Chains A and B, each alone.
Chain A
């Protein structure tokens, strides 16, 4: 069981990840953008942060950089469904700037659970 913060502006994604991970016994907290996610991190104690990369208000890369300023050990899993550039570009940038793991949308439940297990191991 792990304490996981999911940051994604898309309700469908947040709810789906919540459902899948909760079913596996994890405790999931949700945030709709980077700013709200950082507030949650200040308040709570998390084992893993799952963050989308393209979001309004405060986007994912910015969020990852902000988290890394606060903690160098907190595990981060970046997820992305692509944008105007190549999907790989975003995830690659995220990995270089502080994300420990990356996962490309759409992903299967097995991929997600596997990534979470590795990130919280």
Chain B
């Protein structure tokens, strides 16, 4: 906004009045020029006030603008807060700092300012002659002779005031000055109200954004809870099936084992005296093999239903791994390319060596079945891993910590999600009748859980399957300094 330096254009100085008409005409031109300048400045100030959103900057802009347009040595503008008395925003032009400080207190108490905001009327004075106290200004206010104060109207209230003191071009403030100041004050009032509305909107927006964020968090927490609930339900179902089978197994194992005694003992006894190559020997060997297989099956059921006590002792997983690899190389079909990798020399944990070997054997036998006659690759590995963050597993979430990781991956047919969801259920099998008991992975799961471990499985139809077993080392996680 251009500063209004003078309302007497240069033409007025150079023009020599030749007669009264000419003088009046030129005076009118002068007035018109001054009015145009004021009008332009007023419009520009109006635009500035409309754009300003910060109440304190708005008060400053208005105070400076009004001072320039009307032409006063001193100006001050105060806007009350929500209580209508205390000055929330104050800006002064031309006044010393100590006067401005006193003005803030005075404006809240002195009757002049209170009168303007309460009555909504303007106050115009002249010939003050420095009698500051008469006006109601602070005692350290600079000397003035003329004064114009106007209220700033808002919507239904009067939130502030503007005063101009010591008119620059004359000894008094005119009617026109008062009208102009009132108009500007009205604009400032609307802008101030808009700024407040904007501020309130912004506050509401922040509140709403916060509420939206809270709602989003609640929704995501609920979704997570639902996922956890579904997982817990699956775990419960699996646990119930295992428990039911365990109860059944415990009940029948006693009878089955009793029945197995003659089958295995007496056939073995008779085989001692059977003639080599005789039909009796062949039959007895078949009976014994059948008995052994039943014994093996009962043993498996007892293991995975946790009826068979585990032998817990310090064992070396790495040694068990190497031993199992030798066993697997001897037993897996030649079409399977078994690749193994042990990244650690020793992996000592408390556990049951037989059961842990069973894990690797079961996973590899399953992998070989998934690969089929066409052949393929089984990769098994053992390493140590520091989990800095939790990891989802079949039976819940793996807590951060230090683990031994046993991995078995195959290039076989893979599984869909529906199959993966059921593979750890006892007696669930995708193999042909007679080719699988449906206990292999149920056993693996039970053994892993009984060793405080966790199982992860990744598989896609046609893309193979990878099982990962995490067994806690019992050591605190390693931290890099």
User: A residues bordering B, Cβ < 8 Å?
Assistant: 10, 12-13, 15-17, 19-20, 23, 54, 80-89, 92, 105-109, 112
Instruction: Using A10-B261, A13-B262, A107-B265 as known contacts, list a sample of 19 further A-B pairs with CB atoms less than 8 Å apart, ordered by residue number in A.
Output: A10-B258, A12-B262, A13-B261, A20-B269, A23-B269, A23-B272, A81-B256, A81-B258, A82-B302, A85-B307, A86-B309, A87-B302, A87-B308, A88-B309, A92-B309, A106-B295, A106-B298, A107-B261, A112-B265
Given known contacts A12-B258, A105-B260, A105-B261, A84 and B250 CB-to-CB distance under 8 angstroms: yes
In the complex, residue of chain B having the shortest beta-carbon distance to the beta carbon of A88:
B309
Instruction: Say yes or no for B266: interface residue by CB 8 A criterion.
Output: yes
Say yes or no: is B12 at the interface (Cβ < 8 Å to chain A): no
- Contact check, A16 vs B261: say whether CB atoms are below 8 A apart: yes
Q: Which residues of B contact A (CB under 8 A)?
A: 247, 250-251, 253-262, 264-266, 268-269, 272, 291, 295, 298, 302, 306-309
Of the candidates B259, B261, B307, the one whose C-beta lies within 8 Å of that of A86 is B307
| B250 and A82 form a contact (CB under 8 A) | yes
Residues of A within 8 A of B264 (CB): 106, 108-109
Kindly provide the distance from the CB of A86 to the nearest chain B CB, expressed in whole angstroms: 5
Q: Which residues of B contact A80 (CB under 8 A)?
A: 254
- Given the known interface contacts A12-B258, A82-B257, A106-B295, the answer about A19 and B307 at a Cβ–Cβ threshold of 8 Å is no
A14 to chain B, nearest CB (A): 9
B254 cross-chain contacts in A, Cβ below 8 A: 54, 80-83
What are 16 residue pairs bridging A and B, where the CB atoms are less than 8 Å apart in the complex? Answer: A10-B261, A12-B258, A13-B262, A15-B262, A16-B262, A20-B269, A23-B269, A23-B272, A54-B254, A82-B253, A82-B307, A83-B251, A87-B253, A87-B302, A106-B295, A109-B268
Give complex CA distance A33, B143 in Å: 126
B265, A17: Cβ atoms under 8 Å?
yes
CB-defined contacts of B247 to chain A, threshold 8 Å: 84
Q: Which residues of A contact B307 (CB under 8 A)?
A: 82, 85-87
Contact B309–A17 (Cβ < 8 Å)? no
Given the complex of chains A and B, what is the CA–CA distance between A85 and B308 in angstroms? Answer: 9
- Looking at the assembled complex, report how far the CB atom of B447 sits from the nearest CB atom of chain A, in whole angstroms: 15
With both beta carbons as reference points, the residue of chain A lying nearest to B258 in the complex is identified as A10
- Whether A105 lies near B258 (C-beta < 8 A) is yes
Using A83-B250, A108-B264 as known contacts, say yes or no to A12 and B259 having CB atoms under 8 A apart.
yes
CB distance from A53 to the nearest CB of B (A): 10
A109 to B269, Cβ gap below 8 A? Answer: yes
Is the pair B258, A89 in contact by a Cβ cutoff of 8 Å?
no
> B256's closest neighbor in chain A, by CB?
A81
CA distance A44 to B229 in the complex (A): 65
Task: Name the A residues within 8 Å of B253 (CB-CB).
Answer: 81-83, 87
- Which residues in A have their C-beta under 8 angstroms from that of B251? 83-84
| Complex interface: chain A residues within 8 A of B259 (CB) | 12
User: Whole-angstrom distance between the alpha carbons of A109 and B265 in the complex?
Assistant: 6
Q: Which residues of B contact A85 (CB under 8 A)?
A: 250, 307
Which residues in B have their C-beta under 8 angstroms from that of A105? 257-258, 260-261
> Once the chains are docked, how many angstroms separate the CA of A89 from the CA of B307?
9
- The answer on a CB contact under 8 Å between A19 and B258 is no
- On whether the beta carbons of A106 and B257 are closer than 8 Å, the reply is yes
| Complex alpha-carbon distance, A112 and B272, angstroms | 16
Give A54 to B259 CA distance when docked, in angstroms: 15
- Given A81-B257, A82-B257, A105-B260: A16 touches B265 (CB 8 Å cut-off): yes
With A and B bound together, what is the CA distance between A86 and B246 in angstroms? 10
In the assembled complex, the CB of B446 is this many whole angstroms from the nearest CB of chain A, namely 13
* Chain B residues near A17 (CB-CB < 8 A): 261, 265
Residue numbers in B under 8 Å from A83 (CB-CB): 250-251, 253-254
Q: A20 touching B250 by the CB < 8 A rule?
A: no
Residue ID in chain A nearest B270 by CB atoms: A19
User: How many whole Å from B457's CB to the nearest CB in chain A?
Assistant: 28
| Docked complex Cα distance between A84 and B252 (Å) | 9
Least CB distance, A29 to chain B, in whole angstroms: 18
How far, in whole Å, are A108 and B264 apart by their CA atoms in the complex? Answer: 7
Q: From A92, which residue of chain B is reached at the shortest CB distance?
A: B309
Asked if residues B269 and A19 are in contact (CB atoms below 8 Å), the reply is yes
Please, which residues of chain B bring their CB within 8 A of the CB of A16? 261-262, 265-266
